[in-house]
Structure 1
Amino acid sequence: MPRILIADDEDAMRTLVARAIAMDGHETVTAQDGAEALEILSREDGEFDLLLTDIQMPIMDGIALALSAARDFPRICILLMTGFAHQRERASNLSAIAHDVITKPFSVADIRTAVADALASRRG
């Protein structure tokens, strides 16, 4: 069962994404910002298949989190989420470490498909 770490500062979004992903049998762990997600990654020695993170968050944003995660845990697949065009542009430079950027708002089907694609690319 794939383990997925979800980082998003919006409670409703975190809950929606965790429930959607759990529908496919994935184990989810959530964090309310990048700093908390990085602490969880470190504590669990990077034992996650996927990091799904919002880009715009307080304390540590998703881009800083993605860069740290890719450096410290290179086997983890990274999928970014954003509702802002300028954040998507910032993320375009991360194609070497991030599988994709999913644009908010998205449907449950969209996030499930994006996660399945990211996990499939990791196995490939």
Structure 2
Amino acid sequence: MKRILVCEDEDVIRDFVVINLKRAGYDVTDVNCGEEALKTFDAEHGNFDIVLLDIMMPGINGFTVCKKLRERSSTLGIIMLTAKAQEMDKVSGLMIGADDYITKPFSPSELTARVDAIYRRVCMSFIKNENNPVIESGPFLLNLKSRTVSKNGKPVDLTQVEYQILEYFMNNKNTALDRSSILSHIWGDSYFGDDKIVDVNIRRIRMKIEDEPSNPQYIITIWGYGYKWNDA
């Protein structure tokens, strides 16, 4: 069953989200604050595929809950809900481990499309690739069977989005990839958002794999176009 935890303090919005996700075939558990979200997640032993998380809530805000959930699971899908259109809120959520964001107000079709896209990615984390199970590039080893990445033999802690981006890069070594193709490959053709999410995730990955993130050696920016994986 597709299990999702919805954390939203506004009753009308929470009811709207719950009704539409149930119609889309999800098993929904809903709470109205960050404290309850963490308590419920732990009580269910993390047995959720996705968490929809409002940013602005009394008590523990969504950013803090997102960070704590990401510490508990790298495969959990996390979508931030925000009433603010400011770029900073979106960037902040993505930088601390969210997979996507939805800006209120949103339509039922946008909600289900974004949730479905994240759910497909979560499912991919459990698919084992028995053929060609390893990709090597410089000091990196990407294991398709365990869906893990190591650098110089040391594991790199990645979310599933970050893993998929690295896998895409390493399957296209020394090839310039434009933002649109990265967005389409990772988030799907029906993604409602803009390609800023690509840039934020690249920044996050660089902080984890580059010796000097401000002077990257592996993920090279192609100005005005996109990025390239340097098979050093």
Q: Match of 1:72? A: 72
Query: Larger Rg: 1 or 2?
Result: 2
Structure 2: distance between partners of 1:121 and 1:93: 21
- The structure, 1 or 2, with the larger RCO (C-alpha pairs under 8 Å, 6+ apart) is 1
* AA partner of residue 52 (structure 2): L
Offset of residue 122 of structure 1: 1.6
Give the alignment's TM-score, normalised by structure 2.
Answer: 0.51
> Which whole-Å CA distance do the structure 2 matches of 1:104 and 1:85 have between them?
8
Q: Is the 8 A contact 1:4 1:50 kept in 2?
A: yes
- Partner residue, 2:94: 95
Q: What amino acid is the match of 2:44?
A: E
CA RMSD of aligned residues (A): 1.3
Residues 47-99 of structure 1: per-residue CA shift (max 9 Å, x gap): 0000001111011111111000010233211001101134x513413436211
AA of the residue aligned to 2:31: A
Q: Aligned residues: percent identity?
A: 29
Q: Which has the higher helix share?
A: 1
Give the conservation status (yes or no) of the 8 Å contact 1:63–1:91: no
Structure 1: 5+ residue stretches without partners: none
Task: Could you tell me which runs of 5 or more consecutive residues in structure 2 were left unpaired when the two chains were aligned.
Answer: 125-232
Q: What TM-score results when the alignment is normalised by the length of structure 1? A: 0.92
Deviations 1:19-55 (A, max 9, x none): 1101111100001011110000011111000000111
Number of residue pairs the alignment of both structures matches = 123
1:95 aligned counterpart, secondary structure = helix
